[in-house]
Structure 1
Amino acid sequence: MSSEEFVHGMLYLLVTVVGVPSNIAVIVAFLLLIYEDKRLLTADAIILHLACANLLVVAVRGLMETLASFDLANVFGDTGCRIVLFIYRSSRALSIWLTFLLSAYQCLSIVPPGSRWGTARNILAQYLVFIFLLFWLLNTTMSQAAILFTFSSSNNSSLTKNAINVQFCYVNFPSALIKELNGAVQVGRDVVPMALMTVSSLIILVLLYKHSQQVKVLRSGRRKSGGGGGAEQRAAKAVVVLVTMYVILYGVDNGLWVYTLTVKKTMSSSLISDLRVFFASLYAAISPLVIIESNRKVNSRLRCAAREKPGLETRTCLSTK
């Protein structure tokens, strides 16, 4: 094994070791919450769905890359390449759109009482399942190139100059036009939610700043009456952190993707592809850590699960808010 392959394997092993357990922990915490309360709040449902999408990103791509890098399993034949890339690209894009949805909902949740945006928040909550289905349909449809044009790197006899090296696989576009169109679609699919979530996060920061100024002016009364909004404000701050992480990591990812599309002689080197997948997978691995640290529901239920014992103590722990 060359030093490059070893470093490649270790990077994806790190992403897998961090991302798989942390996303599973978030999912388990919300399953415990469902068991206790028999329902999920809208923001919690979005975070649960986000954790599932992130788990797919890390497990399907990070774990598969790790196994292949250390020659533990040969998963990247023609069929394996198509399945892995399709699931990875679909779940990666879904993670992006769910992060935008979460930022938009939290923005609507902290608007001043009586605002007309409260109606939009209620509509979003009412049609949340349909929004999830729309996101799945949109992102799987826009990932069809992974199925149509992907081949194993061992099957490179018919590669054209429009092929893109993605480490163990090639995406072999039939023409430069299709390659550029697909690239534009992929970038657009990421840039649109990036712009929207950036706007919503800026609005969140403005609202939080205004609230802090009001607290300074009306300390005693507003602190007591505004105590119920503390959880929403903490959640909003956590969302801003997630969005900032997304903009940085996926900004690098999309910058490298544009470089891949516009610069020639990238077919023979997989370094750019490695960096893209690593940065995209890094968000899926780190974001659940932010959720665990900032979300009291998740944190408390994981603590309960860690010290849980049969009998009355289990029920007492589950009943803790």
Structure 2
Amino acid sequence: MGNMETNELLLGMTFFSLTISGVLGNFILLYHYIYIYLTRYRLRSTEWILMHLIVANILTVLCKGVPKTISFFGFKDIFNDIGCKLVPSIHRVARGACIGSTSFLSVFQAVIISYRKSRYSYFMVRTHKCICFSLYLNLVVHLFISSIFFVHMRAKHDNESTTNRKAFIYCSSVRQDPTSDILNALLLSGPDIVLLGLMLWASGSMVLTLYRHKQMMKYMSRTNVSSGSSPESRATKTILLLVSTFVSFYTISSLCQSFVSITYNPSWSLVNFSEMSALLFPTVCPFLLMSQEYWASSYLKRNRHFPKPSDQEQN
């Protein structure tokens, strides 16, 4: 077996492992939230956002992991022109939903800890509706952006010239001039940069709020309850851990995809590493959430200062 065949086999096993782990982990979490909905007949705000994140993770793993695993085990021509247009488009929408859900989850938690003693349930209901609208608007924006794949992507054909086509594993795209490649890369990454900035701002706000709360506790009377052990702090730290993990993996994936987009003839290693980096967060995310003693939703279940979600919040 040659060196190239060995590398392909190792990559195939890696994609297979990531795909199986990602599908199982995310479906376990999806079952968890479906069970909560069936028994409680409603989902709280953070649970609702997390379920959107889980569905986006599942679509990402299926669009990236399954085709890659199949292609590395010898089935190269697995997509026709429609498949090469549809699968990258779905992945782009799922990727956008993933970053949008993570961003809006951090924003919502920042609002919760900032107004944790507030009795104004109407304000929190309005915040929930604003988050819902933002999630759906984010989907519409990424659906529009993903239309670029319908124009440029198609299946590879053995008898066609590679002069005007940029070849990937099982699909190819129209080879454009460097200026067009850069503009397309900016179009694809523009909304994500905005959401990433919003996520970092909300995370910074949460860190600052927790720091102020810790400083305030120093001047209060002695108590057996510490800010570090409260459900509120645990939920916030879980989301901060989720956000930091997402930012790390997203940065790696974005850099790889940018290099693939602007490179005239991307190498085999670069293309495959770019595809693999897109699977890192969707695979790690469910196990990261399940490993926490308190999930983000546990704060909403336990904190008595925060108003319970009204029926209006579920609309």
How would you bin the TM-score normalised by the shorter chain?
0.7 to 0.9
**Distance change (3 Å), C-alpha of 1:262 and 1:85:** closer
Task: Tell me which of 281, 284, 294 is aligned to 2:282.
Answer: 284
SS for the counterpart of 1:218 is: coil
Q: Which one-letter code corresponds to 2:191 in the other structure?
A: R
SS for the counterpart of 1:171 is: strand
Q: Which one-letter code corresponds to 2:203 in the other structure?
A: S
2:215 corresponds in structure 1 to 213
SS for the counterpart of 1:217 is: coil
**Distance change (3 Å), C-alpha of 1:149 and 1:219:** farther
SS for the counterpart of 2:173 is: strand
Q: Is contact 2:167–2:173 with CA below 8 Å preserved after alignment?
A: yes
SS for the counterpart of 1:223 is: coil
Query: How many residues in Structure 1 have an aligned counterpart in Structure 2?
Result: 295
In 1: Cα distance, 2:76 partner to 2:263 partner: 33
**Distance change (3 Å), C-alpha of 1:109 and 1:165:** farther
Task: Tell me which of 67, 77, 83 is aligned to 2:86.
Answer: 83
In 1: Cα distance, 2:265 partner to 2:75 partner: 30
Q: Which moved more, 1:84-93 or 1:110-119?
A: 110-119
Q: Is contact 1:12–1:66 with CA below 8 Å preserved after alignment?
A: yes
Task: Tell me which of 18, 27, 31 is aligned to 1:28.
Answer: 31
Long gaps (5+) in structure 2: 299-315
**Distance change (3 Å), C-alpha of 1:154 and 1:118:** farther
- The structural deviation recorded for 1:87 is 1.0
Q: Which moved more, 1:131-140 or 1:103-112?
A: 131-140
- The structural deviation recorded for 1:142 is 0.6
In 2: Cα distance, 1:89 partner to 1:18 partner: 21
Deviation sequence 1:220-276 (CA, Å, 0-9, x none): 46939x89x93332221111111111211111112223323444432xx23222212
Q: Which one-letter code corresponds to 1:240 in the other structure?
A: L
Deviation sequence 1:95-139 (CA, Å, 0-9, x none): 011110111111111114467998765323124443332122111
**Distance change (3 Å), C-alpha of 1:12 and 1:291:** same
Identity, in percent, stands at 24
Task: Tell me which of 191, 194, 205 is aligned to 2:193.
Answer: 191
Q: Which one-letter code corresponds to 2:258 in the other structure?
A: V
Is 1:4 equivalent to 2:2 in the alignment? no
1:153 corresponds in structure 2 to 156
In 2: Cα distance, 1:196 partner to 1:98 partner: 12
Deviation sequence 1:66-90 (CA, Å, 0-9, x none): 1221136852232222222111111
In 2: Cα distance, 1:149 partner to 1:155 partner: 18
In 2: Cα distance, 1:77 partner to 1:60 partner: 15
- The structural deviation recorded for 1:153 is 2.9
Q: Is contact 1:97–1:135 with CA below 8 Å preserved after alignment?
A: yes
Q: Which moved more, 1:105-114 or 1:238-247?
A: 105-114
1:308 corresponds in structure 2 to none
**Distance change (3 Å), C-alpha of 1:113 and 1:57:** closer
Q: Which one-letter code corresponds to 2:199 in the other structure?
A: M
Q: Is contact 1:160–1:172 with CA below 8 Å preserved after alignment?
A: no
In 2: Cα distance, 1:75 partner to 1:7 partner: 20
Q: Report the aligned-residue RMSD.
A: 3.0
Q: Is contact 1:26–1:298 with CA below 8 Å preserved after alignment?
A: no
- The structural deviation recorded for 1:31 is 0.7
The within-5 A match list for 1:27-176 is 27-71=30-74, 74-113=77-116, 121-154=124-157, 157-160=160-163, 163-176=165-178
Q: Which one-letter code corresponds to 1:197 in the other structure?
A: M
In 2: Cα distance, 1:145 partner to 1:63 partner: 22
Q: Which moved more, 1:3-12 or 1:113-122?
A: 113-122
**Distance change (3 Å), C-alpha of 1:115 and 1:150:** same
> Which TM-score applies when normalising by structure 1?
0.81
> Which TM-score applies when normalising by structure 2?
0.83
Q: Is contact 1:235–1:295 with CA below 8 Å preserved after alignment?
A: no
